[in-house]
Structure 1
C-alpha cells in the first residue's frame, strides 16, 4: 500500500537545526516516506508567527516546534487546536525531566545553544585548524592537534576532520602515499593517531567518481595505478600494515557514515588518554565494529 504524502511543519525561533535533526532521525525509521518539510526559522514575533500560521492552514500537517516565548507557544498551540492539527514541542519532556532532577526552572532563552561563548570559539578555532592541516598540510602544526587521521587517498579523512571540528576537535589528516615518507611529527606523535581503512572495490568506485568529476586530466582511467585493482589493493594493505606497525588503531569506514566514524574516533581518543593517564603500554585496540563489518583483507 503506497504511503500517503503529508506536510510536516518545523517551527523554530532559532536556526531550526534541532528540529531538522529530530525529523531526520525519526523519519529515517519509516520506509517509502512521502513527507514535505516546511521549515519556519527565526520566528520571534507575532507577525512572523501569523505568516507561519497562514502557511500551516494552507498546507495542513503536523507541527513540531522549538519556541521559547510562552505567548508565541500558546498562540501556535491554540491555532493548531482550532485546525485540528497535532502540535508538539519535542524538547519539553527532556526539559521537564531535567527541571525535576535539577530542582530549577528552565529560562525562556531562545538559541541558547548558539551563544558565542568559549565553546563556540573553540569550534571556530578547530575549523580553522582543519583547513590549515588538511591532506598533509602544515605538518609542523601536528604538535597542536587533538587527533591525526591517516589513510590512503579518498578514505574520508577530510569530511571526518570537519565533522570533528564541529565538536571542537582539532583534527589533522595525513595521506598515506606509496613511496612517500610520513611527516617526522608522526614518529613520536603527541596525540592519538587513527587509521581509516576502506575496502578495495569501494575505494576504486570513489576514485573513479573523483576522476570523472575532475576530468582525469586526460589520464586513461584503466591505465592509472590510482584505480588499478591490484595497485589499490597493495596500497590499502601497505597502509594497514603501517598502522599496525606503529600501534595505531584502524577504523573500517567502508560501510560507515561520517558521523559513525567520528564517534568511533572520539572513543579511541578517550581510550588513548585513559592509557596515558594510567601509564599503560600503548597498544592498538581493534576497530570496535570489526566483528560486524569484517576485517580488511591482508590485515
Structure 2
C-alpha cells in the first residue's frame, strides 16, 4: 500500500478524453495505487488556467497536459517548475515522431479530433441506428447493419453495441430466446454476425440483480427459468450450438470489459470481410467449436 495518496492533475484545452484514457491505462498498472485525479478540462483562457494553477499549488502533484496555446503551456510549465512538480505534455513525442516522418509541421489546432466532419456524423448516425435496433427491434434494418450481435439475455449485447456506435459502427443486436425463431434476415445476413456468451454463474448473478431492479427480487431459484441454474446452462449451450450451426464466431465476455469485447468483435468483422474478399470458406459447422475466451 502506498504511504500517501498522489495527486495527479490532468489539464486539457479539449474534452480530456485522451488524458483520461492515458491516466486510466497507466494507473491500472499499479496495484492499490492511491492516486487522486484532478481533472481540468476546456482550459482555453488565462482565467481558466489561473484556476488550474491555484489548484496545483494547493494540492501539488504530477501534471500531464494537452495544451495547444503556447502562452498557456508556457505559464503551466513555468508554475510547475517553480513548485518542483513534474509536468509532461503527453503528445509531444508522438507529434515529433510524426512530424519527422511526414515532413510537415503540425498545426496548432485545439480539439482537432472533435470537429463536426463526416466521421462525426457517421458516429451520430450509428448511435441512432443502435437505438432503433436494440434487443431485436426493427430486424428489417439488419440489412443496413455493419455487424449483428446475438446472445442470450444480459450477455452485454446492448452496451457493446453502444460502444461500437461511438466508433461509427452500426451494430444491431438480437436476443437468442429459447424456442423463438431467428429473424429471417439472419438466415443469409449481409454482414458479420458475432455471438456473445458468458459463464452461467456470472449470468445468473447479473440476472438476479436485474430482477431486483425491476422489483422481482422475490423470485427464488427454481421458480423462474430466467435464473434457474440448469435452465440457464441449457440456454447458453443452445445459443452456442446455434452460433456454431451458422458458422458464427462466439466471444466469451465473462471476464472481458466492454472495450475488449468491442475490439474483439471488430477483429471478427475484419476476418469476415477478408474471407469474403478472398473467397475463404466459412468456419466449419461444429457444435463444439471453440469460443473466443478472455485471453484469445
Q: TM-score, normalised by structure 2?
A: 0.95
State the shift of 1:233 in Å: 0.6
Q: After the TM superposition, which parts of structure 1 deviate over 2 Å for at least 4 consecutive aligned residues?
A: 217-222, 284-293
State the shift of 1:222 in Å: 4.3
State the shift of 1:37 in Å: 1.0
The DSSP-based 3-state class of the residue aligned with 2:7 is strand
Give yes or no for contact 2:95–2:106 (8 Å, CA) kept in 1. Answer: yes
Give yes or no for contact 1:155–1:203 (8 Å, CA) kept in 2. Answer: yes
Cα RMSD for the two superposed structures: 1.7
Give yes or no for contact 2:147–2:191 (8 Å, CA) kept in 1. Answer: yes
State the shift of 1:282 in Å: 1.8
State the shift of 1:290 in Å: 3.8
Give yes or no for contact 2:13–2:111 (8 Å, CA) kept in 1. Answer: yes
State the shift of 1:2 in Å: 3.6
Give yes or no for contact 1:208–1:221 (8 Å, CA) kept in 2. Answer: no
Q: Where in structure 1 are there 5+ consecutive unaligned residues? A: 294-299
Alignment of 1:37 with 2:34, yes or no, is no
State the shift of 1:3 in Å: 3.6
Tell me how far apart the structure 2 counterparts of residues 165 and 291 of structure 1 sit (CA, whole Å): 22
| Count of residue pairs brought into register by the alignment | 293
Tell me how far apart the structure 2 counterparts of residues 132 and 284 of structure 1 sit (CA, whole Å): 33
Tell me how far apart the structure 2 counterparts of residues 192 and 103 of structure 1 sit (CA, whole Å): 39
Q: Where in structure 2 are there 5+ consecutive unaligned residues? A: none
Alignment of 1:92 with 2:92, yes or no, is yes
The DSSP-based 3-state class of the residue aligned with 2:135 is coil
Give the corresponding residue for 1:241.
Answer: 241
State the shift of 1:225 in Å: 0.3
Give yes or no for contact 1:197–1:240 (8 Å, CA) kept in 2. Answer: yes
**Correspondence list, 1:69-218, <5 A:** 69-216=69-216
The DSSP-based 3-state class of the residue aligned with 2:235 is helix
Q: TM-score, normalised by structure 1?
A: 0.94
State the shift of 1:71 in Å: 1.1
The DSSP-based 3-state class of the residue aligned with 1:216 is coil
Tell me how far apart the structure 1 counterparts of residues 148 and 154 of structure 2 sit (CA, whole Å): 16
The DSSP-based 3-state class of the residue aligned with 2:270 is helix
Tell me how far apart the structure 2 counterparts of residues 203 and 54 of structure 1 sit (CA, whole Å): 48
Tell me how far apart the structure 1 counterparts of residues 128 and 252 of structure 2 sit (CA, whole Å): 27
Give yes or no for contact 1:264–1:288 (8 Å, CA) kept in 2. Answer: no
Deviation digits for residues 215-270 of structure 1 (CA, Å, limit 9, x no counterpart): 11864454100000010011011000000011111111111111111111101000
Tell me how far apart the structure 2 counterparts of residues 49 and 262 of structure 1 sit (CA, whole Å): 37
Deviation digits for residues 7-27 of structure 1 (CA, Å, limit 9, x no counterpart): 111110011111011100000
The DSSP-based 3-state class of the residue aligned with 1:188 is coil
The DSSP-based 3-state class of the residue aligned with 1:169 is coil
Give the corresponding residue for 1:267.
Answer: 267
Tell me how far apart the structure 1 counterparts of residues 112 and 290 of structure 2 sit (CA, whole Å): 36
